[in-house]
Every structure is written in structure tokens, then in C-alpha cells.
Amino acid sequence: MASGFFAILDDIAALMDDVAVASKVATSKTAGILGDDLAVNAEKATGFLSSRELPVLWSITKGSFLNKIIIVPIALLLNAFFPIAIKFILILGGFYLAFEGVEKIVEYLFHRNHTAPEVISENTEDDREAEKTKVKSAVTTDFILSVEIVIIALGTVLDQSLTIQILTVSVVAILATVGVYGIVALIVRMDDAGYKLIKHSNDKGFLSKVGHLLVKLLPIIIKVLAVVGTIALILVSGGIFSHNIEYLHHIFPNIPSIVKEFTFGFVAGLTIVLLVIGFKKVFSKQTSH
């Protein structure tokens, strides 16, 4: 009886070792998309009053966990019974990410407000709606990026047993959510940490200098992340097109892949943006008549 119990423990330990190795490989494969995820979501978690930053980030994090809970079993089922569907889902998601990225560029170039960016305070009903809209946008973008992460992670363990596939993809999904949003939380609270250091040191000495540095760095980091996040959206979408559309994968073999992927993403995003603008104009004319 005891020997049977220890045999089960040995099997569990061996399984955990296999999952740990597979998770390490899968995490390294998804490192690039996790970096993009971080840049995109750090930018989306800003623009709120200090008191609202963590509650908003928590709402996005809960949405991200829910995304993973939906995506992981669906990805496993589709991979087992209808794998071609995964490719089409990724391509549709790529168009959404491309649209988001190019729309930000169009907004900046042609509809930029030269005044200071509005901070959502949630003091009025309009502010609450604006906050909900921003959270919804962040969760939607996270869903597309999460699909990419889960599919890449699953692709690294296709030759393993179903148990290892389930455990590995689940571990990567959890690590992706906790890691990305944990770092985002640290970034958006940099200024608060800086003010506390300044106050604790009575604005004197090394700690005070560190505090002032953190306060000054936050707006710079946010601006950099806004740019990086926009580029990341276009690059991720272009990568999806390049890896899942055979013709695009082999076209222009002498051009660096990063240039091709950005071009594919930008062209796709610009096409969708123009279609949306055209549709809005047609719809507005119809409603005016």
C-alpha cells in the first residue's frame, strides 16, 4: 500500500518535472509577445487619477484571467478536433490589432489634441463610462494577445501527452497574466513610490534623489510605452499574417522579417481604418437624410 502511494508521488514528481521543462520552453517562445503585451497594457492602464489606477488595473487583470479561462480549453479542443479554426481566429485577431495600432497613428497625426491629455477621474457618469470603455478596450486587446500566447505555448508541446499540454498551457497563461500585470502595476505606481521616498527622507539625501528620479521617469516611460505599444500592435498583427498566410510567409525573402511584419500590419490596419471611416461617412449621410 505504502509502495503504491510512493509510486504515485514519483509519477506526480516526474509529471511536474516534465511540465516545468515544457513551461520553460513555452515561456521562452512567448517572450516576445509577452513584451508586446506588457507595452500595450501599460499604456492602456494609464490616464486615470492615482486613486483609480490600481482598481482599473485590477479590473483589466480579472478580465485577462477570464480571457485565459475561456481561451485555454477552446484552444485545446480546437487543436484536437478542428485545428484549422485556430489559424482563422488568429488572422481575425491580427486585423483587430492592426486596426488598433494604425488608428492610434491616424489619431495622433490628424486628430491630435494639443492640450494636456484628459485624465479620467470617475467623478461623473461620463467619466465612469470613459473608464469602462478603456477597460473594455484593454480586455479586448488582451484577449487577442492571449490567444497568440496560448497558441504559441500549445505549439511547443504538441508532441507531448494531453495532460502535459493542459498543464503547460495553463502555467504559461497564469504566468503571463501575473507577470505582465504585476509589472504594469509597478510601472503605474512609480510616482507614488517616489513621493513616499521623498517624504520619508525629508527631501534630503540619496533616497530623495531616487524618489525625484522615479517621479520624473514615469511620464517619460508612459510616453515611450505608448509608442512601443502602438508599434507592438502592428508588429504582432504583421507576425500573425506572416506566420499564418502562406503567400505572405514566403514573399520578399530578402527583406528582414521585422520590416515585412510591420508593413503587413500597417497595410492591413490602414485598410480597416479607411473602411471604418468610409462606413461612418456613409452611415452619417444616411441618418442625416
Residue 116 has pLDDT above 50, yes or no: no
Is the pLDDT confidence value at 269 over 90? yes
When mean pLDDT is compared across 31-40, 220-229, 236-245, the lowest value belongs to 31-40
Q: Is the pLDDT of residue 36 over 90?
A: no
What is the Cα–Cα distance from 148 to 207, expressed in whole angstroms?
Answer: 41
- Enter the DSSP assignment of 160: S
pTM of the predicted model, to two decimals?
Answer: 0.69
Nearest to 155 by CA among 79, 242, 239: 79
Q: Are 264 and 235 in contact (CB under 8 A)?
A: no
Mean pLDDT calculated for residue range 13-21? 64
* Cβ 33 vs Cβ 152: under 8 Å: yes
Q: What is the pLDDT of residue 266?
A: 95
pLDDT recorded at residue 267: 94
| pLDDT digit string, tens, across residues 124-150 | 666 677 778 888 888 888 888 888 788
Look-up of cell digits 510601472? 187
pLDDT tens digits along 203-221: 788 888 888 888 888 888 8
What is the average pLDDT score of the chain? Answer: 79
